[in-house]
A and B are shown apart, each in its own frame.
Chain A
């Protein structure tokens, strides 16, 4: 095997392991993997940066499928092409397949166990804090212009208070980005 191939394989296996770990501890739905993703893929492996994760999330909102799966596919492809992409995606869903098969086979009353309920109630409270910490971290990078602060605030309020579809938010934000940062600023630059 050529050296390049073996390093691709090594990266792909590392991607599989990392995303399996993320998948195993992904309690609390959609964005709960964000703090883990930041730690593993940004701080530890430097596979991506915070801005790029936000780009991926925005795109993931307007394509079919689960955001965390989309993120795995993206980071895997970027690091090690098709093999990396496939292994990262498989890694993310492996814990679910194992755990749910076990539960389906053995423990159909798993969710009713008192210890499970107690642990989950506490995990939810802590994961909430971790998500907010991630938001602050990402906000520092992504909100540099007053217009961007306004977009973030409006997106938050629309979804939190009125349950607006994220697809609508993403399309509107893309349009604002195109109009304000693309056209308007270009005009200013042309004037100056």
Chain B
């Protein structure tokens, strides 16, 4: 019980201070492992990253569930995950209130006219990093300008599938198809053609 409370406090802290999402939780998780190696080790973290990459859901949330389960079973999995999410829930609930309250304010509107295009750029950059990992399996995120090693990593299958999907998203009927159909089709294609 005491361990579970301590664990939840640690993940609450990670949830409170990890800005930006996704991998931002990782340094905190590393730090928890340094202080409590009996909870989980660095090898567990590596394992968890691999599992997170192959399951849906944010890595921070997955990590909290995984560690919570190992330390205190199913209640641990649930409580620890909630602890991670609680701070950002409270903070963003307040932010959401402020956003709708000031949405008609001229200054706020001007600020968002600058923010919206930035968000588009950020999403495009995130898409680009997924693009690199998808089409160049094994790409380590370091040597974008190293053309030789990049070409060596190129996967034809992924490249062709990407192009086909790109074309599909431009076609009148397929464009409005639910994204889940795309994901389902990809699952089948990936297994059948041994991606």
- Which residues on the A side are within 8 Å of B22 (C-beta)? 29-30, 66-67
CB neighbours of A100 from chain B (8 A): 51, 55, 57, 62, 65-66, 69, 77
Interface size on A, residues (CB 8 A): 109
Q: Mark A101-140, 1 if CB is under 8 A from B, else 0.
A: 1011100101110011111111111111111111100110
On whether the beta carbons of A64 and B179 are closer than 8 Å, the reply is: no
**Hey, what's the 0/1 contact readout for B48-80 against A, CB within 8 Å counting as 1?**
001101111111111001100110001001100
A77 touches B61 (CB 8 A): no
User: Does B180 make an interface contact (CB < 8 A)?
Assistant: yes
Contact of B125 with A155 in the complex, beta carbons under 8 Å: yes
Instruction: Decide if B117 touches A149 in the complex (CB within 8 Å).
Output: yes
Q: A64-B18, A73-B92, A126-B183 are in contact. Are A95 and B123 (CB under 8 A)?
A: no
User: In the bound complex, what is the Cα–Cα distance between A100 and B84 (angstroms)?
Assistant: 15
> Are B96 and A78 within 8 A (Cβ)?
yes
- Least Cβ distance of B95 to chain A in Å? 6
Smallest CB separation, A40 vs chain B (Å): 9
Complex interface: chain B residues within 8 A of A57 (CB): 119, 122-123
Q: Are B53 and A111 in contact (CB under 8 A)?
A: yes
Closest-by-CB residue of A relative to B63 is: A100
Q: Which residues of A contact B183 (CB under 8 A)?
A: 25, 27, 123, 126-127
Q: Is the CB of A167 within 8 A of B19?
A: yes
Q: Is A138's CB under 8 angstroms from B57's CB?
A: no
CA of A135 to CA of B17, assembled, Å: 28
Binary interface encoding of chain B residues 176-194 relative to chain A, with 1 for a CB under 8 A from any of its CBs, else 0: 1011101101110111011
Would you call B117 and A135 a contact (CB within 8 A)?
no
Q: Say whether B117 contacts A124, CB under 8 Å.
A: no
Asked if A14 lies at the interface with its beta carbon under 8 angstroms from chain B, I say no
Most chain A CB within 10 A, of B47, B89, B92, B100, is at: B92
Q: What residues of chain A lie closer than 8 Å to B17, measured between beta carbons? A: 64
- By beta carbon, the residue of chain B nearest A135 is B124
Closest chain A CB from B134 CB (angstroms): 4
Known interface pairs A64-B18, A131-B127; A151-B182 also in contact (CB < 8 Å): no
Whether B57 pairs with A174 at a CB distance below 8 angstroms is no
Which residue on B lies nearest to A156, using beta carbons? B121
User: In the assembly, what is the distance between CA of A27 and CA of B55, in Å?
Assistant: 7
A156 touches B124 (CB 8 A): yes
CA distance A99 to B59 in the complex (A): 13
A68 to B91, CA, bound (A): 14
- Is B186 a contact partner of A160 (Cβ separation < 8 A)? no
B178/A173 in contact, CB under 8 A: no
Q: Contact flags (1/0) for B75-115 with A, using CB distance below 8 Å?
A: 00110010001011101110111011000001101111111
Interchain Cβ contacts under 8 Å between A and B, 24 examples: A25-B179, A32-B130, A43-B176, A58-B118, A64-B87, A66-B58, A77-B93, A97-B65, A97-B78, A99-B56, A101-B65, A110-B54, A115-B191, A122-B187, A125-B195, A131-B127, A138-B120, A148-B113, A148-B114, A152-B118, A152-B120, A155-B122, A160-B124, A170-B118
Interface residues of B (CB under 8 A from A): 15-23, 25, 47, 50-51, 53-62, 65-66, 69-70, 74, 77-78, 81, 85, 87-89, 91-93, 95-97, 99-100, 106-107, 109-131, 133-135, 137, 144, 155, 157-159, 161-162, 165-166, 168-170, 175-176, 178-180, 182-183, 185-187, 189-191, 193-195
Q: Which residues of A contact B (CB under 8 A)?
A: 21, 23-32, 34-36, 39, 43, 51, 54-70, 73-74, 77-78, 82, 85-86, 89, 93, 95-97, 99-101, 103-105, 108, 110-112, 115-135, 138-139, 142-143, 145, 148-149, 151-156, 159-161, 165-167, 169-170, 172-178, 180-182, 185
